[in-house]
Structure 1
Amino acid sequence: MNRATLPQPRVMVARIFHESHGFSPLPTPQDCFLVSRGDAVLSEARGSGTTLGGIISALDAAGVELMPVLSASAPPSGLVEHDFYLSLKQEILAAVKAHAPDAIALELHGAMGTTVLPDAEGDLLRDLRLAIGPDGVIGVGLDLHAHLTEAMLVASDICIACKENPHSDVVACGEKVARGILSVLDGSLRPVSTLVKIPMLLPGGNETATGPLRDLHDMARGLAAQAAGTWDISLYNVFRFLDDAGMGQAVVVTSAEGTEMSARAAASELGEAFWRKRSEFVDHLMSIDEALDHVAEHAGTTPYVLADMGDRVLAGAPGDSTAIL
């Protein structure tokens, strides 16, 4: 039966979300993750302000049959214990093999590594592609700090990122992933992904509302409006502490089949702009001495918080530096 004639597609949904710090001495065990399964995945994700929440919202509106498997997430920290990752992967694979969904919709971070594999998402998606087969549809919503790899793109039909840092558009990203999946299912979109990888890690300038990233995202929006057949342009500012080979900034243009030439031109133009602006990606932060001098000069006027950006737990560092103390 042709997909377009199916009255109610069956879409499996899952989430594995972790930003892994490859230099942390502390691995991330199972008990650091919040894990839910089955209908709890849906009830927790609906209205949650997450990419998975956006996916489910759009699929609910389309009236498809949702097949929730699991949601596992943890704050940024060291590499995930490999056996725990394998258990999550096997659980999703078993569900795909048992229920044969028409599509799989995933929220992944994109920069998760295990104590064995630096590209956990690429490994997961490769195995999911084998499980669902070439005609199944796989859609993925990523964090824009993902380490985007060819393995991830080859295995998926839709693979896009949120566009804003701070991440205020993650729900919209999920909704777009869901719309993309439905368009592939009904035959109105045959997506092709074009990747340009720039060998560059950003030491700063990571916010998208100011500085060089604002310019690049404005440029991406302009190119998306001009380039025929362009469905999405995602810019990836890779999480530099993952520590994998081939890391760097990435541009992915997702376009309709037959418009690959314009997609390549847009991706190349954005990649070259990344490289030209490389010296602009800096943060202007105080040294510890400068910060303490400032506090001393304004003693008693207001409370101060001193943050060690080099040992920032939100980026997965262990938070054990005593430099400021």
Structure 2
Amino acid sequence: MARRPVIAICGLACETSAFTPARTEAAAFHAQRGPDAVAIYDFLAAGTPLAAAADWHGALIGRALPGGMVTRAAYEDLAGEMVALLERLVKEPHNNGVDGLDGLWFDIHGAMVVEGLEDAELDLLQRVRAVVGPSVLVSASMDLHGNVSRGLVHQLDLVTCYRMAPHEDEQATKQRACVNLLKALQRPRRVSPQRPYKAWVPIPILLPGEQTSTRDEPAKSIYGVIPDVERLPGIFDVGVWVGYAWADAPRNRAAVVVTGWDSEAVAAGAERLARKFWAARGEFHFVAPTGSLDACLDAAFAATPAQRPYFVSDSGDNPTAGGSGDVTWGLTELLKRSEISGQAAAAGAVIYASIPGPEAVKAAVAAGVGSTVTVTAGAAVDDLHAGPITLTGEVFSIKYGDKNARTEVVLRVFGSVYVILTELRKPYHYERDFVDLGLRPREADVVLVKIGYLEPELYDMAADWMLALTPGGVDQDLKRLGHQRIRRPMFPFDTDFADKPPNLAARSIPLSTEPLTGPDE
């Protein structure tokens, strides 16, 4: 009986904003180890084709909610444990009594920032490589909002990323990374090359995800070309990265990576996509009408019944892009509106999601549903734009046990405004997030949620919506944030490239066993 390949799984993921004072600690990664790290992937469940094709061994997988910079202590703890678990896997005998690993799946995001590290994912991969050795094939899956540096591509054999934003293909991408790894491992040893060729093209464009959704042009057409390129003879996989706009490091930019068995085809495919991306730079636009929060609320409160529920994105503090989640500015401005708190207040149901405030939640829980309480919440982490907010209202509902929020409370303020308070920050992406709290978002007039582009369920639910350009750690106005370390020139920070047109030639990346020299450009 043929020996099945032995594959380890590891990775850390945290989309990290450099413009929030928040910090991410080890507990936020909800680390899974050993068999538990394999069990989180349905496509590796017992009885699936992939499960039968290889022996999969979990080392450590950690995925944190996007947020502030990862502390060095947290990273060292998790990376150290990951390496120790990999060392154990390398030394253990596996099927047919053979020890060692054949492959490794590196499941990361690509936009993690760690205190004191220039390229956290590369540092982690170098530590992993030092343990598993140069002969092990490594395949990575990434978010298209990650940053793929030349050094990272060099240490990888295979790399792919999501092709949809919103990320409806997250699990499909991870599965593709595993399928690609198995195909590469099954390549006959006598056939050259043993490892795929890799072509990398950095593109000097840095845009927020809210301008690059694959629902809309031009990203829709750019990503629509990927299957055509991937079908060409000699090409194995194609990845197009938008990059992550709210970190501030030289690796933050768009990029294309193509892998395959034909070096010329790989280079040509990468350059074709890079040129298409660059040519479209002036066509990118926000996925919805935008405006100040006041302008968005003006439109929401003036909406006709056919336009309700009317969703407004409080985008500057989006916790799934890296915002701290506790900026109170948006809620403070909402509650000033005459439609809510004035003498002529006539607004229907308004939902606001959400503000963390552990002490406020504790007080509301102690008082109980139906009680009237006065509590203070928010701005414990990010008080750069507004201070803590004090609310008086009726405790409408309480829910326990959420993975992110722990405990959630709905406070009804001014009779018609339902403010969600959480013990810890939480994103609200699904209808059940609201319904489980006794709220009916489909029947509300206005829903204000800390998010950028609307996730699929919210998008389908909204009769109309606008994206408010609000302040916070993931401010959509990138120039307002003050990037200092990105490579220049960079679109849209710079628009005149006449004197320095970008180099969109494919950089051939050598095999991971060969030294890499030269700058990351």
Q: Fold conserved (TM > 0.5)?
A: yes
- Greater shift in the superposed pair: 92-101 or 139-148: 92-101
The equivalent residue for 1:29 is: 25
The equivalent residue for 1:99 is: 89
The equivalent residue for 2:299 is: 294
Query: Is the contact between residue 199 and residue 246 of structure 1 (CA under 8 Å) also seen in structure 2?
Result: no
The equivalent residue for 2:239 is: 234
Query: Is the contact between residue 23 and residue 67 of structure 2 (CA under 8 Å) also seen in structure 1?
Result: yes
The equivalent residue for 2:221 is: 215
Return 5+ residue gaps in structure 2 as ranges.
Answer: 91-100, 189-193, 335-521
Structure 1 position 240, deviation (Å): 0.6
Structure 1 position 171, deviation (Å): 2.0
The equivalences for 1:37-56 within 5 A come to 37-46=33-42
Query: Is the contact between residue 144 and residue 243 of structure 2 (CA under 8 Å) also seen in structure 1?
Result: yes
Query: Is the contact between residue 14 and residue 69 of structure 1 (CA under 8 Å) also seen in structure 2?
Result: yes
Q: Deviations over 1:61-111 (max 9, x none)?
A: 31x222211221111100111121122212222223233222211211111
2:256 to 248, 251, 262: 251
Match of 1:251, SS state, is strand
Q: Does 1:278 align with 2:278?
A: no
User: Counterparts of 1:299 and 1:182 in 2: how far apart (Å)?
Assistant: 55
Match of 1:275, SS state, is helix
Structure 1 position 58, deviation (Å): 5.3
The equivalences for 1:57-76 within 5 A come to 59-62=50-53, 64-76=54-66
The equivalent residue for 2:323 is: 317
Match of 1:233, SS state, is strand
User: Counterparts of 1:162 and 1:92 in 2: how far apart (Å)?
Assistant: 25
Q: Deviations over 1:183-236 (max 9, x none)?
A: 22233563111100001111443211321111111222222223x301111100
Return closer, same or farther for 1:206/1:262 CA change in 2, 3 Å cut-off: same
Structure 1 position 12, deviation (Å): 1.0
Q: Which has the higher contact order (CA 8 A, sep 6+)?
A: 1
Q: Which one-letter code corresponds to 2:13 in the other structure?
A: F
Structure 1 position 303, deviation (Å): 4.9
Match of 2:291, SS state, is coil
User: Counterparts of 2:15 and 2:48 in 1: how far apart (Å)?
Assistant: 24
Seq. identity, %: 27
The equivalent residue for 1:159 is: 159
Q: Does 1:84 align with 2:74?
A: yes
Query: Is the contact between residue 58 and residue 179 of structure 1 (CA under 8 Å) also seen in structure 2?
Result: no
The equivalent residue for 1:261 is: 264
User: Counterparts of 1:134 and 1:315 in 2: how far apart (Å)?
Assistant: 34
User: Counterparts of 1:182 and 1:299 in 2: how far apart (Å)?
Assistant: 55
The count of aligned residue pairs is 311
Q: Deviations over 1:138-162 (max 9, x none)?
A: 1111111111111211111111112
Return 5+ residue gaps in structure 1 as ranges.
Answer: 48-52
The equivalent residue for 1:143 is: 143
TM-score, normalised relative to structure 2? 0.56
- Greater shift in the superposed pair: 82-91 or 5-14: 5-14
Query: Is the contact between residue 197 and residue 249 of structure 1 (CA under 8 Å) also seen in structure 2?
Result: yes
TM-score, normalised relative to structure 1? 0.88
User: Counterparts of 1:298 and 1:162 in 2: how far apart (Å)?
Assistant: 35
Match of 2:40, SS state, is helix
The equivalent residue for 2:133 is: 133
Q: Which one-letter code corresponds to 1:169 in the other structure?
A: D
- Greater shift in the superposed pair: 108-117 or 166-175: 166-175
User: Over the residues paired in the alignment, what is the CA RMSD in angstroms?
Assistant: 2.3
Structure 1 position 275, deviation (Å): 1.3
The equivalent residue for 2:449 is: none
User: Counterparts of 1:205 and 1:161 in 2: how far apart (Å)?
Assistant: 18
User: Counterparts of 1:225 and 1:12 in 2: how far apart (Å)?
Assistant: 29
Return closer, same or farther for 1:125/1:289 CA change in 2, 3 Å cut-off: same
Query: Is the contact between residue 37 and residue 61 of structure 2 (CA under 8 Å) also seen in structure 1?
Result: yes
Q: Which has the higher helix share?
A: 1
Q: Which one-letter code corresponds to 1:138 in the other structure?
A: V
Structure 1 position 304, deviation (Å): 4.2
Match of 1:307, SS state, is strand
Return closer, same or farther for 1:57/1:93 CA change in 2, 3 Å cut-off: farther
Query: Is the contact between residue 129 and residue 156 of structure 1 (CA under 8 Å) also seen in structure 2?
Result: no
Query: Is the contact between residue 112 and residue 118 of structure 1 (CA under 8 Å) also seen in structure 2?
Result: no
Q: Which one-letter code corresponds to 1:225 in the other structure?
A: R
